[in-house]
Structure formats: structure tokens, C-alpha cells
Structure 1
Amino acid sequence: MTSAGHVQNETGQPYVGLRAFRQQDRGLFFGREREAREIATLWQADRLTVLYGASGVGKTSLLHAGVLPFLGSDRVDILPVGRVAPDPALLVSTTPVRSVYVLSLLSSWSAAPPAELAELTVRDYLDQRPARVDRYDDPIPTLISIDQAEEMFTGAPYRESDLEEFVAQLADALQAHAGLRLLLSMRQEYLASIVPFERVLGQGSRSWFHLLPFRREAALDATRRPLEGTDRRFGENAAELLVDDLQTVTIHSEQGEKTVLRVSGVEPVQLQVVCSALWESLPPDVHEITVDHVRLHANVDRFLAGFCRRMLREVAERHGVPEGSIRSWLRRTFITEHGTRGTAYEGLHQTSGMPNALVRSLEDRHILKAEYRAGARWYELQHDRLIAAIRHTDPETFLQAARTALSRAQWTHARELTEDAVRTAEFDDLGVRAEAEAIFGDVAVGTGDPATAWRRYDAAAEMFAVLQRADGVGRVLAAKGRLSLNLGDYPTAVSALSAAVARVPGDMSAQTALAQALWHVGQPRSALIVLNGALAVGGDALLDALALRGVILADLDQPEAALRDLDLVRQHQQPATLAARALALALAGRFDAAEQEAADAIANAGSNGPVLLRAARIRVILGNAVAGADLAAQAIRADDPALPEHLREQARRLLPPPN
């Protein structure tokens, strides 16, 4: 059944890890020789063979890498392994489809367009195939199989008629083709669903095969023998220790009591996981795997968590998407509310909102697997054991991704990521809840809901205070101050931002916001003191601080100092800074340049009070008091933003005296 010269798979190692074995992996597939031989015999002899077992026991691997290679293609006519998961797109298709299960099965066998296959029955398709005979001109059996056949019974009730039509077509084909044999591979919990159809499909010739976990000797074969084609081997008692560990189950009760059980079987998927982890963790110069290597590296849960973390980090770095965003998408797309695997089909450019290039990278790294069904690529998690690894992660991963989403104004995504962080955190993890409330507040600000934002910020500040996290309290107070600033409540903004800066003195953005609030309440010189201190320390809001200081210096008639700052931010100028620079140029006597820049600022000013006032002052400096008065009047009426009171008084002085 296996080749004499074993070869490593495409990952460069002799174990396949989480994914199922494929037919080309037959040289690495051990421990199932007896089962493969018995199933092959039953499949050829009986009209219906049902292969069943628990999830993860290796049914798909056995079928592809054990049974099919054992049969070969000279003694039997074998069609590709089929799947019958319905494609939801077919349910709304304009092409008449008698059974989505039939079309799905035929799509597994043929690359023809669904529109062509929709016109065929199972019997029609088989009738079109040329008959195969052996060397004595006797017809050879035709073997068809359906993997994960439980998919026939997991649809909604409105697919019952599709199922009945599908079974009728299979029965018709089995009746018409004497040499046709059907194998159904399915999870054992769905066995009761196949019983009503057993008689019509088996037609008096049927068998069942229960696939169990590895027994000890088979597990040792599956552990040791894949290394025969490598320069490594297991040392004394090392493989035995690995299998012993897999046969040992530790149970922790709610009262903290520990019970250690010894089980008779070894789950094949767990064996592949730990062997793969062990192989990957060994230094290159290790040729004998010792018991110490097994004790250090053969841990399923730890490997799964580390495996997911490494693969997702690689994909995140390659595609520029936060790891938390990818993990959240996997949770929402491929894990159902019942904790089972879900599916998603690949669209033209995206799969459930994620770029196809990124999804293909996840497939390459064995996080997802893809299958063609009814002419479309469908994705699901590589294995059920990945569900827990994806669900349970460090909440900070989600929080960091949520902050990235905030920076990109992706409000809904930021909220979803934060909800994931809260769900994955321990119930009493106040730190995560505090960070989450702060992000929820930022989302509310972004979506135009200041009342909710204020409530969320208050909750976050209380939690940070309980934790004695001055930095957290400071960040939330800064956020409240910015919210007040945006709402035009400048005294509240000054109070909140002053408290924030006292707690987080190194936050340059908070200091810049405080200076802006002080300028709005008529304290420009206090604002300059704050900005001077912030710029002396430096930080990530350098350009904003320079621009604001330049604006205030221009308003205080200090043109040379203003121009030094404003010249440094010329590539990032807004109408406000452009008007301030124009005013500084006029005050410095550079009238032509001032007039041009003032015109540019006014063109984009809209109803910006400070911009209009600076333009008014420039007109007066240039000798046009009438134009200056007109612009000053517009500045007083402006509301986006309105003039602070100290500048409003300055504007009134430019108006002509009342008659």
C-alpha cells in the first residue's frame, strides 16, 4: 500500500499536521493498513458501504491515502471522491435544478459548467462514461464515494425534497449499473440519518465499517515509520513516550480536583499535530529524537496556539492587515454559533469581505482548506481542532487591531474587534474591559454619538482608576477633552485636558489639544507655554503643535517667530494655517506673497471665522479698510468654527463705527 522510498511532503517534513492526507501522501501514511484493506474489500463487494467514525479519526485521510492507493486503477474504475454540500447560490439560480446534492456530486466528478451538469441525472452521467474492462474483457467494478456524507443531512428542512431526489437518483444508478458500488464516509453522529435510505441504496448488499482511533501499535507505526525516508529516527522509548502522552487524559473538576485517565486509543489528528510540532521544533543537527525532545515539544494545545499565532502573524505582515482583524474574521466566518465549522465561498475579489489573496495565504499555511463544489471554491477551517485555537487568544491582539481600525475610521470593524476582545478575556479582567470601553467611546465619537461616547469614557475612566492606571485615566480624559473641544465646550475641554496632561505629561497630542482649548477660551499666551513645553519634549503630534504655535504667534503679531514654525509645516497646511502664514507675511512687510496666500486661504475658508478674520486683518494692513471691514463682519457671523471671544472682539474693532 505504501511506497518503499518515503518522501517528505511539500512542507519539507514527513508529517502532514492538521490537514488530511492526500493520495500523493500515501508514502507517509502508516498505521491503517488493515483498515484500508478491509474497506477496499467491502467497497468492491457490496452495493453500499458506510465508513463512519468520530470527527478527527482520519476518515478522509484513510480514504485518500489508504483505500484508493490500495485499489489502484487497473482492477477498478474509480471516480474522484465526491462531496454533496449544497451551494446556496444554486438555490436562487435561474437554471432548473432538481437536486442541489446531485449537482454538487456531479461537480465533484466533472469540470463542466454547472448549467450543463444541471441537465443530467447521476445515471445519465455514468451512462456517458466509456465502459472499462479487465484484461479478460470482463467489466470491472465502478466505485463512487462521497466524503463527509453527513452534509446531506445538515441542510434546512426545505432541502428534504432535494435529498429524496438525490437518493432516488443514486438508487436508480445502482440498479442500472450492476458493477456500481457506493461508499459513504460520514461522522458517526449522523448514522441514524442514513438508516431510512440504507435498504434502497444497498439493495440487499450493504456493509458498515466503524473507524476507531489508533491502537497503540498502529500509533507507534504512524509515529516512527514516516521517518524512514529522513536522516532522523526515534531513540529508545521516545516514540513510546509520545504515544503514552497521547493516551493520557487529565480532567480538572470545578472543585479543582485532578483526574488522570488512560485511554486505549490515540486520535490520529492529535498524533499528526504533535509529531509535526516535534519535527519543526528540533534543531537541524538533531538526528536522534530523545525522550527529552518529546517532553519539551509534544503538546497539542500549545502547538495549536503557537501554530495559529505564527501563521496569522505571517499572513498579517505579508498583506498589511492586523492579526486581530484576521482572527476576528476567521471567528465570524468559519465558526458557527454552535461552535462547529462554517463555510464561505470565494467571490470574484473577496471571500466574506476578506481579499482573496489573503485567504489563499491562509490556505497555503493550512489554516483554511478549499474545495470545488458546483463550480465554486468553498473554504472552511482545516480541522475542528483549530476552532478552540482561533477562539481563545490574547485579547490584546483584538484590541490592537481595533485601534488600527480606529485609525482608519473603520468604526464597525473596530467595534466588532473590541467585542471579540471582551469575549476572549477572563470575566474579571478589568483592564481589558477598561480598554474596550475607551475604544467604544472612540467609535461613538466617530459615528456621531457624543452622549454614548461620554458615557463610555466615564466608565473607562472609573475602571482605570480602580486599577490605579494613571496612564489609562489620562488617555480617557484626553479623549473627553477632545470631544468637548469638537463640541465647542471649551471650558470643559480645558479642565479635562489639563487633568489628562497632569497624568500623562508625555502625551504631545493631549498637550496640543489643551493649547487649542486655551486659545479658544482667550488664553493664547498660556497656550504658547503649553506648546513650548510639548515641543521641547517632542512626540508624534509634532506638526500639529508647530502649526498651532505658528497660528497663535501670528495672531499675537509675532511674524518672524510665526513664519519659522509655519514654514516647517507648509506641506501640511490647512486654510487656518495658510491664513495665519499670510498674516505673518503681511506683518513682516511681504505684501505680494501675503495677498496671494490670503486669496488661497479665503477660497477654501467656507464659514471659518479665524480664517476670515486673518484675511480681514491682511486687507487692513494692505490699506483696504473697507474690504477688511466686510471680511471682519463675515468672520463674526461665521460658525465653522465660530470666532473665540477674544478674536471676536478683535474683529469688532475692524468694523466701521456705527452712524
Structure 2
Amino acid sequence: MAANNVMAPNTACPFPGLRPYRSTEEALFRGRAQESAQLAALWRTRALTVLHGPSGIGKSSLLHAGVLPLLRRIGADVLPVGGVTAGPVFPEAAIPSANPLVRALLRSWVPDTSLPPAGVHRFLRRAGRPSRPVLAAVDQLEDAYAGDRDAARRELLGLLAPARHVHLLLCIRDDWLDAFLGEAEGLFPDIALFGLGGLAPAAAAEALGRPLRDAGRVVPPATAEALADDLATERIVDETGRVRASEHLEAVQPWQLQATCLWLWRTCPQGQGAPPGTSSAGDPAPSDPAPGALASGDPPGGPVGEAADPSGGDPSGVADGAIRGVLWDAIWRVAAAFDHDPVRLCGWLATHLVAPSGAAGTLAEGPAETAGMPNAVLRALVRRSVLRVTVSGGARTYVLGHRLLAPLGQLARQAGALGVPALGLSDRLRAALEALADGDQSRAERHARHVVTTATHDLRLQIDAHTILGNVAFARGQLAVAQDAYERVLVLLETQRDKASVGVMLAAIGRLSLSRGDLPAAQGLLRAAAARLPADRSIKVELARALAGTGQRTAAVAILSTVMTAAEDDEAHALHRDLVTEMSDHAT
């Protein structure tokens, strides 16, 4: 019997949704070929390249799925993409640096190791080959401007600047670009700026239609072009829902394109024909309902869709429905993270940022609140691309995101009828990490404590929540409280037989004991950590310090001699030199 050569349709969704594209998804990343090549060339040839743009514009996707694959194909020495906050839950006290931004960056540069190296200088000095530069990227640098991080941020920039054999690519949101440049210009003599805008409608149509066609879903080119054009059209809709005017935008926002793409994936047939809601020529079918949510499922609480846009004759119902789903999801999640009512938050946004005529409004940021709303809430909405920020003379002004006037007005009219779910436990942990990234320790503690008291039978959630509580206490300088939280985690980890994680937690508790002056306890804990993580030199340096503190200089010197490097500024080398000097002075 002859083999069947007909390929089965691809059932894997080619769109990542609101998360960035990954490096493994280069084939799915469409519409940014020119920007990818230009940015890769800048990064290779300039000491510092700054990629900037508004939230949701696709900076992370461009870096991961556009630039990195190009560079790796030509054999460039590229470090893993770094970050200054967030990442997996990790006991912060396990890393020697007192700078939280440095700790996060080192962890992100070596994601596959139990403990990162002890310093930025040492790590960069050893990275790559002398014959060509090392390419290092730091994404979402705007996180370094949240909370009380001025001193930590300046220290980090000061550590990055002297690495002349390293070419840096720093990604930052537009509203923090001027602040960064004011700090960087005296440190980095060679700065190249690369501003990223939205997708041109033609590129958006390619990014929308091509992956669907490659996956066996039939989308007529006219349909993709009509939807892309609609995504580049801002409608002014008054409080009755009547379209009063429209404005053609220069570009499509990538996150809105993704929302529409996911809806198309869910509704587009695998055989012949056009997506529901459009005719085969790409015109809308007015009798079909508009979508209300992302392809991954309706927003919690039920769909947000309405009937097709009453203006008819255009595909705005498709895009508006998809955008409404994402918009409501962002609003209720931000509201839940701050213990606010999402319906009231939605109404507040519509009242203050959309005029009764449907035109856009603006709000100047106040010292702590803006029109009665905490600035932290507004900044969380900026991160989720609901709001945009303009900065002039240091003053920050909020405006609604591009093409959100009509969808927000539609939401505000029906928000009271929408379901509002409770924040799940995993979502609470993410909210706690976001709060720490904001520098809001109280909010992080509140979410973590909720998980501790609720997820009593989920060991993984308990481990993460107690670790976050330990990190909060560590950030506050409450070392005894941090140690107590970490010790709870250690008990849980030992039941998992996770040797590496136990070693990291032992190192964290040992360093806390050392900082608290409990040298005997520190010695025992650090010895146990070193036994589980024998390749980690930083633990051995801390163990030597603990031994030296109790007068065991010879033992300390013996340990240090096994981990020293040739560099004079090496921490082990410096401690070894001091101990040898002390021993010589004592002998004489």
C-alpha cells in the first residue's frame, strides 16, 4: 500500500500571545526582518546600543526571535539575555553581592547554574574570547528605575561601563530613556540609539496571515490586509456607542496584533474559506458575532464580546473584540494585585482618559496619586500596555494606549455585567514578584502570606511563597526573620531530595548566619552547602571568611588557595593576602 504523502495540518498555535517570542520561534516571527538586521549590526559594532520603545511594542521579541538567531548563525559570542529583576524564585541571600540589581543580572546571565558568579567584573572578564567582543544584553532596564534603586542602579552602570571588550545592548521603555541617558553619557563614550515603533500595516498583514497559511489555515490576503488596516485605525466613539470620527495610525501595536491573531487561530477554518465574520473577499459578515477573547480562552469571568460593531461594513468587530478581551484581563489582574475593584478601575480609566465625545484625555502624574488613583496602579497598567507615558521636563503624563479608545468605552458600558474572578495562587506569586520588581515589599509580602496560608497542601507553592517572604525580610535588613523563612524552606526542600536547591538554601542561611555574627553556625552551614555544591567557589570563600573569623586562619588559607584566580582584585585572592599578612604579623 502506497504511503500517504498528504501532510496533516499543524495543530500547534503559531502565535505566542502576549508573551514575547522566544529564540526558538524565529520561523514564526514575521514582519521585523529589516529591524532585526539593523539592530544586530549595531550591537556587533558599537560599545553600547540602546533599544527603546513603548511598552508592548515588541522589544523583547525583536531581541530574542529576530536578533539572537542572526548572531548565533554567524558564531558571535552572545550571553543569555540578562534582566535586573524578577526571574524564578530564588533566595536572594545566597548571592554575596549587596546590590539586588547585580544579583538579578548575574543570575540571568548564568541561568543553568545553581549559584551565579560573585561579581560582574569577574564574570565579564572571563566571558568570550580575546579576539572578538562578547555581546551582552539586558532587557527591561526600566525595572531598575522602580522603587528606591538609585544607588544600586548607578553602581550597576558603573560596573558595566569599564568592560571594553563587551558590547552591550540595553533595552528600555521610552519613558525612562532620557533618565538613563543622563546617567550613561558620562560612563559610555559610544552610545547608539535604536527606536522601535509599531508594525507598518503591510508588515502586520504578513505577521498575521503568513503563519496561519503556513499552518494550513486559509486566510485570504484581503482579509489579513483588512484586519491590519483596522488595527491601524483609531475610532472616536461617543458614550452612546456611535462612531463620530476615525483616525488612521501609522503603525499597528504588536500586542493588539497578537490578540487578533489568536482569535483568528481559534476561528479560522483548516480547509477552504474565510474566517467567521468575513466573507471570502475579506469583507465582514454583519450577522456573525464579534469575538470577545484570546484564543487561549475567554477572560476569566466569561467572554467580553458584543455583537458585531453596529457601524457595520468593516472588520472592527473582530479586532475590537479581541482587544477588549486582553484589555479586561489586564484591568482585572492589575486591580486584583492592588486589592482594587476592577469595575471601578475600568470606570476610572474611561472617565479620566476618554472624554464624553470619545476623544482621548491626558492626566499629569501627581506626587503619589493621580486623580485619586495610586501611581503604582497606573505604572502597572503601563507595563501591560493599557496606558502610555510621555515625559517632558521630568513631568510624566498618562494617556490611553493606541487604539484603545473604542474598546475601553465598550468595556466601561458593560463592565458591571462582567465576571470578576479571584486571583489564583500562582497568579498571586507572580503578583508578589512583580511587587518586588516595583520595590513594593508590603504588597509582595501580602500576596506571599496569602499563598502560605491558603496553599497548605501544595509543596511547590509553599516553597516559593516562604522564599519570597525570606527575600522581603532580607531586603528590609531583617536577617533573623529572613533566616527563619529560609529554614522553613530548607525543611520542605529536604523532603524533595533536591541536592542543588538544598545547597543553595544552605548557602543563603549560612551567609545570613555569618552576617549576624554567628560564626560557628555559619561554618557548619557553609560546609554543608559546599558539600552539595562542590564547584561553587563563592561558598568556599564565605566558608574561609567564617573560619578566619574564629581564628582558624590556616584552614581558611588552605581553602582559598584552591579557588583563587590570578587577578589581584579577586575576592579570594584579596582575602588570602590579608590572612597571610595577619599570620606573618602574628608570628613575628
Larger radius of gyration, structure 1 or 2? 1
Structure number with greater CO (CA < 8 Å, separation at least 6) is 2
Q: Normalising by structure 1, what TM-score?
A: 0.43
Q: TM-score, normalised by structure 2?
A: 0.48
Bigger helix share: 1
